[in-house]
Amino acid sequence: MKVAPLMDALSSDPDFSTILVHTGQHYDHNMSGQFLSELCLPEPRYHLEVGSGSHAQQTAEVMKRIEPVLLGEKAAAILVVGDVNSTMAGALVAAKLGISVVHAEAGLRSFDRTMPEEINRIVTDSISDLLLVTEESGRVNLLSEGIAPERIHLTGNLMIDSLQRHIKHAMHSTIRERLGMNGQPFGLVTLHRPANVDNDLQLAEILDALSEISNHLPLYWPMHPRTRVRIEKRAIPLAGQIHIVEPLGYLDFLCLQSSSAIVLTDSGGIQEETTVLGVTCLTLRDNTERPVTIEYGTNRLAGTRKDTILEAWKQSLTDPKKGRVPPLWDGKASVRCHAALRQFLGNQSASMR
């Protein structure tokens, strides 16, 4: 969702030649292959097929497999997005090879170093040459970490570019009919962060809260593979009206998200999408690296305990947040990113003459 609009913008510029590398960190078809087709992304030139493993194993495999790609292609820059292991791994290899690193979605901070994503964000930003920022907090964070102002560009949110381009098409999805919803109000759940899924006590608290909420509002849960494995391994029962469904493609999920009465999630990107869609969001975490979704948007931090989640649920009923769209989340982030890349690479070329 972050790559597609920017690749589209760059493909129309004859001065750019782009190569898409699929690391294989996400390899489920509904979490990867279907997204590529629905977002009209070209077939990746390279499939690294890294697969799963511990954070160290996965990061190391990406580094090993992407190095020959970067050496062979002699790229002027590598552009990495977000905060996953592939992001940090690609940035590290490029920086060691003397290739410029561009980080899209830079500067976001939860200030919680127990989150693997936070480590990825900090490391990637520290070695990036050009930092493309989605919200003002990101710019402030980078400046406080000593990043030079001229390397930081507030561009807006590429994910929102994708949302705006595809929302009309998504609303033609038949996913609600396929799930037999019959027009009834429903809530949407996603849960995948290790801190929530791998901690038995924390997972039990969250599931207890979801079960109680589902007695009032049916909940549909496209379950992440790692979450499913955890729940099945522990034989954890799911009470109430919680409907587990397979992972969904981008358009099906966007349709459900925009139609839902509430979204309960630990995903960062979904906090952003619900803000723009005007859908109530409860974030099942104690912090967020996207404070603009709380300041401007429809997002509330619900914590990870049953009592805090239920309290946030009650607040959402008695005092719903209307929210508004944050600055520069206007569907034109790719245009501003393109301009920042032209300026950066143009200056880089001039300095080498």
Mean pLDDT of 51-73: 95
Residue that wins the pLDDT comparison between 235 and 196? 196
Q: How confident is the model at residue 68 (pLDDT cuts 50, 70, 90)?
A: very high
Q: Measured between alpha carbons, how far is 137 from 122 in angstroms, rounded to an integer?
A: 14
- Counting every residue, how long is the chain? 353
Mean pLDDT of 224-242: 82
The 3-state DSSP class for residue 166 equals: helix
Q: How confident is the model at residue 29 (pLDDT cuts 50, 70, 90)?
A: low
- At residue 287, the pLDDT reads 97
Q: How confident is the model at residue 349 (pLDDT cuts 50, 70, 90)?
A: low
- At residue 310, the pLDDT reads 98
Which of 194, 154, 190 lies closest to 292 in space, CA to CA? 154
Domain spans of the chain? 3-156+329-352, 167-318
Q: Burial, 146: exposed, middle or buried (Cβ in 10 Å; 0-12, 13-18, 19+)?
A: exposed
Number of helices (H) and strands (E) in the chain: give both, helices first.
16, 12
Question: Per-residue pLDDT tens for 243-266?
Answer: 999 999 999 999 999 999 999 999
- At residue 229, the pLDDT reads 83
- At residue 33, the pLDDT reads 73
Which of 20-34, 41-55, 317-331 has the least mean pLDDT?
20-34
Q: Measured between alpha carbons, how far is 131 from 149 in angstroms, rounded to an integer?
A: 10
Percent pLDDT > 90 in the chain is 84
Residue 42 pLDDT exceeds 70: yes
Give the CATH H-level superfamily of domain 3-156+329-352. Glycogen Phosphorylase B; (3.40.50.2000)
Is the CATH number of domain 167-318 3.40.50.2000? yes
Question: Per-residue pLDDT tens for 83-101?
Answer: 999 999 999 999 999 999 9
Q: Measured between alpha carbons, how far is 105 from 330 in angstroms, rounded to an integer?
A: 16
Mean pLDDT of 106-131: 97
Percent pLDDT > 70 in the chain is 97
- 3-156+329-352 and 167-318, same CATH topology: yes
Neighbours of 223 (CB within 10 A): 20
**Residues 6 or more apart in contact with residue 11 via CB below 8 angstroms:** 18
Question: Per-residue pLDDT tens for 144-199?
Answer: 999 999 999 999 999 999 999 999 999 999 999 999 998 899 999 999 888 898 88
CA distances from 292 to 134, 165, 300, 329, 333 (A): 10, 22, 11, 11, 16
- At residue 26, the pLDDT reads 62
**Residues 6 or more apart in contact with residue 96 via CB below 8 angstroms:** none
The two three-digit tokens of residue 213, written as one number: 């909420």
- Of the residues 26, 103, 169, 192, only one is catalytic, namely 192
The two three-digit tokens of residue 210, written as one number: 């979801």
Residue that wins the pLDDT comparison between 239 and 139? 139
Which of 79, 51, 77, 76 lies closest to 65 in space, CA to CA? 51
Mean pLDDT of 123-147: 98
Which of 170-179, 203-212, 219-228 has the least mean pLDDT?
219-228
Residue that wins the pLDDT comparison between 351 and 204? 204
- Give me the residue label for tokens 């976001």: 108
- Active site annotation includes 192: yes
Mean pLDDT of 222-247: 85
Q: How confident is the model at residue 19 (pLDDT cuts 50, 70, 90)?
A: very high
